[in-house]
Chains A and B, each alone.
Chain A
């Protein structure tokens, strides 16, 4: 009896020790997983950056960023039109997509009856699941003819068409993250406002939305990052012409579209190939910058 008791005790002891070991190993394990994220990010920056920066052996940075003359066969690598194209397209997409996403989020979080709520959530996820090639194809066959017939444009290719399709592709990101943020606002805060006699809209505008602002901003920034980086749909609709756009309806090009159009047909390691990697690197830096921007804003908000 006692012997048996003993074994259980030693068993329990080693079991306990094992648990303590797991506890420690688990902690190290999850730290390793997390550090891997940093390693991955840096290796991406390193590989893409190293290849891209080789461009500057042949091209001056000033030419690359400020000239719009893209004649690789003649040695002119001015990427300004791609930069401008990426930024403008993203701007159009956000201007159209963010309000729709935010309105949808408010609807989902506070207005919709439960039955519609149940459909809306998965419906929004479905938008994300439609391949960008399909979006591009629908843009090509539905949106462009529509724009041509109604606005009298010669072709319809350009920043506007790409921006509209992008807006549809990115608003779900704004919607999901904003809806989460609105949900996360502590209900006593809202109840207090209502109790003080504020209407639903007043409460939403002055209490809920400001409280959810960091989450909403994150959603918009992530959507911007998606818009800047989206490739296939934009490539099908922007026109891919290396010229500075003077109107929203003129074909131009973006960083991503030019990479995907020219990548397969440029010698790897040549100034031309490297310059495409440099564009990818610029995209990378741009998205890192966006993230830092969010940080800066949300930090200031918390401090205030």
Chain B
């Protein structure tokens, strides 16, 4: 029979084990992916045009498309998501409408990405004649982003202490002023964390984009034309593995894996630093 004290110790050890296992597994993944990929990351590879026959092609177009799609989909979804998050956290009373909205957000979050891909294919690619393009891909990605962003925004707003708002209202500010000047700035770090998380998923998304953004890039590197093909890094990785014929496809796949990991790391770092400064200032 375990005494409560030794049970305590036992469980603590167990949780240490779980925590360290999680870290060790990630470290193993990262070392594996980076060790294989980093040697290929030359400027010529990162910013060169991809090739289908000759070895030595780059991933410039795909790299650009990845971030372009991310940017476009975020620009569309962030305002909508913040709006809905504000409503759910600040305005919503428990009416049927609110219940329906909350249920919709939760349901949207669980819609499998392949279903979103098929939906995007019927609606944007075929019926709206956008074709396999950056526009169709970005619009479909919005559907992936929205529920995650809404949930994060709502949570971030809820964690803002009520006293902040009460003080602002007591000073005679309208609700909207309070939201814009007090609540949102205080919730910004939380929202930005959500953006980073969502960005990570968008950069790695494949199933949605195969059916909407397609597997080709524009004829020009760094082309902002939204009707051009929008093959991203993750899709290119999939394409190389399933249909690629270039002799150096393994090197390119490894390079893409490392690039994606580095991109996410950089993203986290770039966003985390100003956020830390911000939250320090707010105390």
| B23 interfacial by beta-carbon distance below 8 Å | yes
Residues of chain A within 8 A of B81, CB atoms compared = 33
In the complex, how many angstroms separate the beta carbon of A272 from the nearest chain B beta carbon? 14
Task: Point out which of B108, B111, B118, B155 has the most chain A C-beta atoms below 10 A from its C-beta.
Answer: B118
Contact between B119 and A48 (Cβ–Cβ < 8 Å)? Answer: yes
Residues of chain A within 8 A of B260, CB atoms compared = 129-131, 134
Render B1-23 as a binary contact track against A, CB cut-off 8 A, 1 for contact. 00011011001101111110111
Contact between A120 and B234 (Cβ–Cβ < 8 Å)? Answer: no
Contact between A47 and B119 (Cβ–Cβ < 8 Å)? Answer: yes
Contact between B175 and A23 (Cβ–Cβ < 8 Å)? Answer: yes
Candidates A41, A131, A199, A295; contact of B8 at CB < 8 Å: A199
Contact between B119 and A44 (Cβ–Cβ < 8 Å)? Answer: yes
Residues of chain B within 8 A of A291, CB atoms compared = 103, 106-107, 110
Contact between A283 and B200 (Cβ–Cβ < 8 Å)? Answer: no
Known A-B contacts A33-B87, A37-B101, A127-B26; A256 and B19 likewise in contact (beta carbons under 8 Å): no
| B179 interfacial by beta-carbon distance below 8 Å | yes
| A79 interfacial by beta-carbon distance below 8 Å | no
Contact between A231 and B113 (Cβ–Cβ < 8 Å)? Answer: yes
Candidates A19, A120, A137; contact of B177 at CB < 8 Å: A19
Contact between B177 and A229 (Cβ–Cβ < 8 Å)? Answer: no
Contact between B118 and A48 (Cβ–Cβ < 8 Å)? Answer: yes
Render B138-153 as a binary contact track against A, CB cut-off 8 A, 1 for contact. 0000010011001000
| A277 interfacial by beta-carbon distance below 8 Å | yes
User: What's the Cα separation between A131 and B116 when bound, in Å?
Assistant: 17
| B38 interfacial by beta-carbon distance below 8 Å | no
Known A-B contacts A200-B8, A231-B114; A33 and B174 likewise in contact (beta carbons under 8 Å): no
Residues of chain A within 8 A of B119, CB atoms compared = 43-44, 47-48
Interface-forming stretch among B51-59, B216-224, B261-269? Answer: B261-269
Residues of chain A within 8 A of B251, CB atoms compared = none
Contact between B109 and A225 (Cβ–Cβ < 8 Å)? Answer: yes
Contact between A112 and B19 (Cβ–Cβ < 8 Å)? Answer: yes
| A54 interfacial by beta-carbon distance below 8 Å | no
Interface-forming stretch among A99-107, A149-157, A237-245? Answer: A99-107
| A147 interfacial by beta-carbon distance below 8 Å | no
User: What's the Cα separation between A231 and B116 when bound, in Å?
Assistant: 12
| B112 interfacial by beta-carbon distance below 8 Å | yes
Contact between A38 and B104 (Cβ–Cβ < 8 Å)? Answer: yes
| A22 interfacial by beta-carbon distance below 8 Å | yes
In the complex, how many angstroms separate the beta carbon of B109 from the nearest chain A beta carbon? 7
Contact between A134 and B257 (Cβ–Cβ < 8 Å)? Answer: yes
Contact between B200 and A125 (Cβ–Cβ < 8 Å)? Answer: yes
Known A-B contacts A27-B91, A127-B26, A231-B113; A288 and B107 likewise in contact (beta carbons under 8 Å): yes
The residue of chain B having its C-beta at the shortest distance from the C-beta of A236 within the complex is B241
Contact between A123 and B146 (Cβ–Cβ < 8 Å)? Answer: no
| A207 interfacial by beta-carbon distance below 8 Å | no
Known A-B contacts A40-B143, A120-B19; A202 and B110 likewise in contact (beta carbons under 8 Å): no
Candidates B15, B26, B105, B175; contact of A126 at CB < 8 Å: B26
Render A85-97 as a binary contact track against B, CB cut-off 8 A, 1 for contact. 0000000000000
Contacts A41-B104, A134-B257 known; list 10 others, CB within 8 Å: A40-B146, A124-B22, A126-B26, A129-B200, A130-B29, A131-B260, A138-B29, A229-B114, A229-B115, A256-B207
* Chain A to chain B contacts (Cβ below 8 Å), 20 pairs: A22-B176, A33-B80, A37-B84, A40-B143, A41-B111, A42-B104, A111-B16, A126-B261, A130-B260, A131-B205, A131-B234, A131-B257, A132-B207, A138-B29, A175-B22, A200-B12, A201-B4, A259-B118, A280-B112, A294-B106
Interface residues of A (CB under 8 A from B): 19-20, 22-23, 25-27, 29-38, 40-44, 47-48, 51, 100, 103-104, 106-108, 110-112, 116, 119-120, 122-134, 137-138, 168, 171, 175, 180, 198-202, 204, 221-222, 225-226, 228-232, 256, 259-260, 263, 276-277, 280, 283-284, 287-288, 290-291, 294-295
Interface residues of B (CB under 8 A from A): 4-5, 7-8, 11-12, 14-19, 21-23, 25-26, 29-30, 32-33, 79-84, 86-88, 90-92, 97, 100-101, 103-116, 118-119, 122-123, 143, 146-147, 150, 155, 174-177, 179-180, 196-197, 200-201, 203-207, 210-211, 234, 237-238, 241, 253, 257, 260-261, 264-265, 268, 272
